Amino acid sequence: MDLGRREACLGIRNARPKTPGLAGQRIARVEFAIYVANHSFLGRLNVDALNTLTYAWVTLSSKLNAVPSTLWLTQRLQAPITVEFSSSLALLEGVKLGVGCAVLPCFIGDAQESLHRVSDIIPELGHDQWLVCHAEDRDNTAINTVKEAIAELIRSEQALFSGALV
């Protein structure tokens, strides 16, 4: 949905808004790591040596928008991607079913009891998360109430977003 066209009142973005007329506030730092299903535990993976590993890997389809985690992974692997999923939810379910390893945001991977983090945090993929609204709505009481509730909820889970829980 396009905030600039007022198709939505609020959005959560992985970059500071650059579109004229939008305002944003930084709400969290999101970190990424490699995860597998508990029943397919591989030991600890060295993210600097992924090109030597032949494990099954799953990712979002490269035909979708250029997702940084997908680009990062495909640039480092010698082995082919086993399965490309068309949505983040399908990717998560595939990893939980043991289809393969995947790069996931820590707030998603660490929150899944059936997943195990098998790498350190991947510094190149970390980014700030932004809560964005139309600049003209900054003084809208209803939007600000929802915006502050979302921001507080996410800030209260900062350890989960930053990958500090493991």
Give the number of C-alpha atoms closer than 13 A to the C-alpha of residue 146, restricted to the C-beta side. Answer: 13
Angle at 109 between CA 104 and CA 110, to 5 degrees: 140
Residue 56 lies in a domain: yes
Residue 65 lies in a domain: yes
37 with 25, same domain: the answer is: no
121 with 42, same domain: the answer is: yes
Residue 2 lies in a domain: no
Per-residue model confidence (pLDDT) at position 109: 96
CATH code at position 49: 3.40.190.290
Give the domain range for residue 52.
32-125
Mean pLDDT of 25-49: 86
Per-residue model confidence (pLDDT) at position 65: 62
**What tens digit of pLDDT does each residue of 118-166 get?**
999 999 999 999 999 999 888 899 999 999 999 999 999 999 999 997 6
Per-residue model confidence (pLDDT) at position 138: 85
Residue 4 lies in a domain: no
Number of compact structural domains in the chain: 2
Residue 125: alpha-carbon gap to chain centroid: 9
Per-residue model confidence (pLDDT) at position 159: 94
pTM, rounded to two decimals: 0.87
Residue 110 has pLDDT above 90, yes or no: yes
20 with 86, same domain: the answer is: no
115 with 54, same domain: the answer is: yes
